[in-house]
Chains A and B, each alone.
Chain A
Amino acid sequence: MEKGSKALLQILCIAFLLGTLVIGFNSSYREAFLALWHGTPADSPLWKSNQEYYPDVTLPVAPADQNADVTAASALDQEISHDTK
């Protein structure tokens, strides 16, 4: 089992190193990193490329947007009640 945990550790180290290179040299990954850094993950090209992939899985609502979301939530409630009629 020690062998297994050592291998896992090696994979993780190599992955971090490789990941750093990819983020450094690939513009899409760099932009994705910056989007995370600026707190705007929706602007990430990676997120955008996945827009049609499981569209029901969305980004969590940022605290700043929560007020605006209250209105959206009440609209959603209305939609549910309309749908179920």
Chain B
Amino acid sequence: MTQNKLIAFCYLFIIGIAAAMAFPLGSAAIAPLWLVTAFLALLCIGSVVLIRRQRSPVENDSPIRLDSIQVTAWALILLTAFVLGYTRYLAMIQSPDRLLGHLRIPAEGDTWTARAEMSGTSFLRIKTLAPVQEDIRLRLKGELEALQPVLDGNGLPVLDADGRWNFSLTAGIAQETDEILIPAGTRAGEEILIQQPFTRLNTVEMLNQPASAHLAVLQPVNTVSLFARSGRNVVPANILGRITADPWVYSFKTVLAITPDYIQYQPNGPYFAVARQTIRVTIDPKMPGYSHLARSAAYGYDVALGGELIMPPSAANAGAFDQAKYLRNYNIGGQMTLRSSPDEKAPLSIIIPQGAVEPREGNGLVEFSLYLRDEIVRVIKQTMPQPNSAFLGALTLGLRYGMQNTVSIASDSYADATVAPLLSLKQPTDELIADEFRASGINHVLAVSGLHVTIITIMFMGIFTLMKISRKVYVPFVIFALVIFAIITGARPSTLRACIMNSLFLLTWGYMDQGLRSSALLGVPVAAFIILLQNPAMTVDPSFTLSFGAILSLALLTQPFFDLFKKFRGNDFIVLIIMLGALTYGFAAHWLLTTTFRFWAGYAVLAAATFGLGRLLTRSGFKPIGNFGFADIHPGVSGFIAAQFGMQIGMMIPLSAYYFYRWPVAGAYANLIAIPLVGVVLQLSMLAGLIGLIPGIGMYIALFLNAANWIFSTAFLLIGHYFSRWFLYPFVIKPTLAWMFVYYAFVALFIWWRPIWFRFVRPRWRSAPLSRRWVSATLLLFLLLLVFGGLHRQKQDLRKSGELSISILSIGYGSAILVDTPDDKAILIDTAFVQTDRGRRNDAERTILPYICARQIKSLDALILTAPGAEHTAGAATILKYMDTKRLLYPASVEPLLQQPPLAAILEERAPGRFKHRMSGTTIVPEQLTAGRRLFESTMEDGQVFYIDVLGPQPADADAPLSLRIVYGDFAVFLPSDLTFAQQRNMLANTSAENLKATVALAPNHGTTGMEDITIGIPQDYERNLANITGALLQRTGAEAVVFEFGNPRPVVGDQYKVAVKLYGTAKRIAEDILPEARHFATDTDGAITLTSDGRTYVLQARYDMAAGEADAPTSLEIGW
């Protein structure tokens, strides 16, 4: 196979995966598809053999025939790659259920036809193969062979010397299900999981006689996700398994990856052999035996554990991080959190095999790599102080978990540290280093990737060259070192990609004398193919996409940018620098201005005028730098600058906006210093780490090297700190897939415009008659109109005119509601809580702004703060910082907050009188509201009226929150905010019944009204008050649906969280009693609630049924270059 065929094969494989993601077939298609793949592969081999035989001098008598065979071979190879990619992805996402038999009525002969025996113990699945016309009632009958582990004297499962769990078997236990009802109207293809263990299915007994039925009984594969559950009350599961990855040791927890061999799903139930997926287990430092697990040596240990096996939660809000999908991509089917006090029985035990004195170890190469890593960490700890050591650990060894909570080098906390910081900085901050890196666009250095691997490759090549060793000899050693490095750093996709590419480069360079470019063109697709063959779900994983996007940007866009810039000489070059400088100043000084049309119009005019002036001066002979231009700069520097432009246009701007809704604008500048500097820091750190392993003198040399590196690494940390302060890390609108496609089409035109124009378009254009030219131009114009018209239509569909959309976001114990009015105004009501302690969770940044960007909203017409509580207002500063917000509306009770930092400073900066923000149209007008005001009133074309009424506070009540009623035609939503019992009573007294009428009502105070008055125990009359006051208020609304904005109250109310949970439970029960016909929702268990209405009807959609577990958001730390 030629190089081109190999490259095409790899890309078609990826396209096949993409096709399977977009149009997946069912699991039944997997086996036939594998057969087709094998058949196509055979045809490929046959055609290649045929070509070789045709080429032989004796038999080659027909060149035309050879061409046709070659074309066929090409087509076959590409088809094989496509089908292979499609099938591989399908086989990963679909568990191929085993067909046990069919049930068919009416049937010839028996209604039940057994097809296969079960393989092991598992649940069963019934699948409808035809639409169900009338109810089907049936029962499954069979047997169970129950496995129970043999226990030793300590009550622990026994593991034999070969690593097999010992079980006792109880065979022949009769099993039959309860009556299973498949109701009439069930569509074909629906599946019902029977959560009862069977080892043999004997028969399917019909309990009624429907006129027709066509069902299949399947045995599902025992994956972890089959046993994982969601919700609050999960039955604990027992698991026998093995730690199959390096533990992630944080300062406050350790995360283990456990591959289960067996799961006991129900207490005293049988054990199921597990075939697929791993479990992410978080253990608490207080747990007995923690110290034995929170270390690299725990890799390979056999363990027995028990606890709640939780299904990873899907995103509770649209646009937010989907943890379930993220974990699924890494083959993780469930998660557990194990906690116990030191005097309790440990929920996790390390099991030592019979006859051994130590637990089993894992793979020898991995064990060696982890041992090496720990040794290097020991060297770093002895030669580098905090926080630089945490940075070096993350940079050199991929130990990002070690710097999870490491605060900025400018933090006050280092003033009293054991080692005084190198510099004492003004304006201290408690930002995390990781956040500073992210904001300054240099966080990619923490994701071990191409940059690291290339530096390390060059470093080893330099060492071997110094030792005068031939490249043919040392290439295998460098490749081995890269393999060890990949394992040490966790073998993430970006690292694997870089290691595969560098190894290919080394092999082609070392033994075939090929250059870097040809190996890069081959290396990219081959590396992608190898990674995706192992895990095709990585195709859409940010770490994979961004890593490959980066390398493709470097390879394809550097030269076009260089060619573009080299045209700038003399005065043109000076003007180019001035204009780029002006743009940089604009980005740093006033980001919101640079997002306006008026800025870019002004910038274009200024650029035209300045270039014109430059040309005029050139003609008059004024040329201060002569004919010096971009091409005269040192090739290393000019190439690097062109590469940075390529990186921004090809990867950072589109992909960062797509995945993270943000663009680290500082990165374009910070990386100009950071990338050369990281080369020095990384090489010194790696050399110090390796030399430090030499007994005796090694640690001294390492100390000298890292003493110097202390200065370099401090400089790097300062880059992160200052660039994150100078530039905003702005939110940007998430591009749709269609927009991305069009964007990359234009990028491709920029890259290949020369061959397209000179080889394809121009010759045909010149030889074409006038009529054909007109037709071609018209067709092109029509195509462009079609594309941009389609994009415009897509944008309109996302925000339909004439439709009201209200999104009640799921942000824990707090409030954030986005109102998208029928006349396309965007109003945000409340801004959620900000957690500043260890959890460091800012929902305004993490949930609200991404949601707004995902809805294609660029600015807010108003931000309304309803109550002074932190769960309503803490995120306001974040929202105002990043979003152009026209009005700030609030009640009197919120006024004191506006006088304090940080809101006071923002409101002063964006005051209507400030020229800077008047120029950009980003001033904020604050306005206090009282009852009786009507806001945003507008009449739609169909006569429906939209408005927001302010129901409270009364002018005399300065402490009351802002209560609102959103009305659109016949549809109304009541938002009471944090009303106390007394305020609720006032509202009942002072508001007419008509004004309280609502289709949907939110529960006052998150369902915890009166909590502030409770000190010792809940008063006896509490429930009565709740029923008489809150109940009456809800009843007055006559709501068809009630929504509780509830979640974990602990970060907000502290020790009173248990009271809050009790009050919420009571409030929900009373609401259900008072409004029995209404539907009741809570944002913690139902996710975000979205209400849409055309003024006559409405649709209420809950994001999901139940959510649980703690989310680990992926950050752009996952990204590497």
State which residues 27-85 of A face B: CB under 8 Å: 28-29, 32-33, 36, 41, 44-50, 52-60, 79-85
Complex CA distance for A60 and B378, rounded to whole angstroms: 9
- Asked, given contacts A29-B707, A32-B703, A45-B419, whether A83 binds B382 with beta carbons under 8 Å apart, the answer is no
B511 within 8 A of A: no
- Asked, given contacts A18-B711, A45-B419, whether A54 binds B393 with beta carbons under 8 Å apart, the answer is yes
Q: Report, as a range, how many residues of chain A touch the other chain.
A: 35 or more
A22 to chain B, nearest CB (A): 4
Find chain A residues with CB under 8 A from B289 CB: 79-80, 83-84
Find chain B residues with CB under 8 A from A9 CB: 466
Complex CA distance for A17 and B535, rounded to whole angstroms: 48
On whether the beta carbons of A49 and B419 are closer than 8 Å, the reply is yes
B458 within 8 A of A: yes
State which residues 292-313 of B face A: CB under 8 Å: 292, 294-296
A54 to chain B, nearest CB (A): 5
Of the candidate stretches B128-136, B230-238, B661-669, B679-687, the one touching chain A is B679-687
Find chain B residues with CB under 8 A from A4 CB: 458, 461-462, 465
Complex CA distance for A57 and B670, rounded to whole angstroms: 34
Find chain A residues with CB under 8 A from B461 CB: 1, 4-5
A1 to chain B, nearest CB (A): 5
Find chain B residues with CB under 8 A from A59 CB: 378, 382
Find chain A residues with CB under 8 A from B1022 CB: none
Find chain B residues with CB under 8 A from A79 CB: 289
B543 to chain A, nearest CB (A): 23
- Asked, given contacts A1-B465, A46-B383, A85-B155, whether A18 binds B292 with beta carbons under 8 Å apart, the answer is no
On whether the beta carbons of B381 and A23 are closer than 8 Å, the reply is no
Find chain B residues with CB under 8 A from A41 CB: 382, 699
B864 within 8 A of A: no
- Asked, given contacts A15-B705, A20-B704, whether A49 binds B345 with beta carbons under 8 Å apart, the answer is no
B251 within 8 A of A: yes
B819 to chain A, nearest CB (A): 46
Find chain B residues with CB under 8 A from A29 CB: 703, 707, 710
Closest to B471 in A: A1
Q: How many A-B residue pairs have CB under 8 A?
A: 155
B807 within 8 A of A: no
On whether the beta carbons of B154 and A85 are closer than 8 Å, the reply is yes
On whether the beta carbons of B350 and A46 are closer than 8 Å, the reply is no
On whether the beta carbons of A80 and B383 are closer than 8 Å, the reply is no
Complex CA distance for A59 and B383, rounded to whole angstroms: 13
* Residue among B154, B346, B383 with most chain A CB within 10 A: B383
B553 within 8 A of A: no
Among the listed B156, B389, B687, B708, which residue makes an inter-chain contact with A53, where contact means beta carbons less than 8 Å apart? B389
Closest to A1 in B: B465
On whether the beta carbons of A15 and B703 are closer than 8 Å, the reply is no
On whether the beta carbons of B382 and A36 are closer than 8 Å, the reply is yes
B705 to chain A, nearest CB (A): 5
B359 to chain A, nearest CB (A): 9
- Asked, given contacts A49-B418, A57-B378, whether A23 binds B704 with beta carbons under 8 Å apart, the answer is yes
- Asked, given contacts A36-B382, A50-B385, A54-B399, whether A15 binds B704 with beta carbons under 8 Å apart, the answer is yes
Find chain B residues with CB under 8 A from A52 CB: 251
On whether the beta carbons of B399 and A15 are closer than 8 Å, the reply is no
On whether the beta carbons of B708 and A22 are closer than 8 Å, the reply is yes
- Asked, given contacts A28-B385, A80-B350, whether A56 binds B707 with beta carbons under 8 Å apart, the answer is no
Complex CA distance for A9 and B459, rounded to whole angstroms: 10
Find chain A residues with CB under 8 A from B710 CB: 22, 29
B365 within 8 A of A: no
B402 within 8 A of A: yes
B1101 to chain A, nearest CB (A): 46
A40 to chain B, nearest CB (A): 12
* Residue among B249, B385, B680, B684 with most chain A CB within 10 A: B385
On whether the beta carbons of A84 and B156 are closer than 8 Å, the reply is yes
On whether the beta carbons of A45 and B466 are closer than 8 Å, the reply is no
Complex CA distance for A59 and B377, rounded to whole angstroms: 11
B1099 to chain A, nearest CB (A): 52
* Residue among B385, B705, B707 with most chain A CB within 10 A: B707
Find chain A residues with CB under 8 A from B175 CB: none
State which residues 185-231 of B face A: CB under 8 Å: none
Find chain B residues with CB under 8 A from A47 CB: 381-382
On whether the beta carbons of B704 and A8 are closer than 8 Å, the reply is no
- Asked, given contacts A15-B684, A45-B419, whether A54 binds B700 with beta carbons under 8 Å apart, the answer is no
On whether the beta carbons of A36 and B386 are closer than 8 Å, the reply is no
B283 to chain A, nearest CB (A): 12
B885 within 8 A of A: no
B349 within 8 A of A: yes
Complex CA distance for A9 and B345, rounded to whole angstroms: 57
Interface residues of B (CB under 8 A from A): 154-156, 249, 251, 288-289, 291-292, 294-296, 345-346, 349-351, 374, 377-378, 380-386, 389-390, 393, 399, 402, 417-420, 458-459, 461-463, 465-466, 471, 680, 683-684, 687, 699-700, 703-711
Interface residues of A (CB under 8 A from B): 1-2, 4-5, 7-9, 11-12, 14-20, 22-23, 26, 28-29, 32-33, 36, 41, 44-50, 52-60, 79-85
With A28-B419, A32-B383, A47-B382 given, name 11 new contacts (CB 8 A): A8-B459, A15-B704, A26-B707, A28-B385, A33-B700, A46-B381, A49-B389, A52-B251, A53-B402, A79-B289, A84-B156
Write 20 A-B pairs (CB below 8 A) sorted by A numbering: A1-B461, A1-B465, A5-B462, A5-B463, A8-B459, A9-B466, A15-B705, A16-B705, A26-B707, A44-B382, A45-B419, A46-B383, A47-B381, A49-B389, A50-B384, A53-B402, A56-B249, A57-B374, A57-B378, A84-B351
3 smallest beta-carbon distances between A and B, as pairs: A83-B289, A19-B704, A56-B295
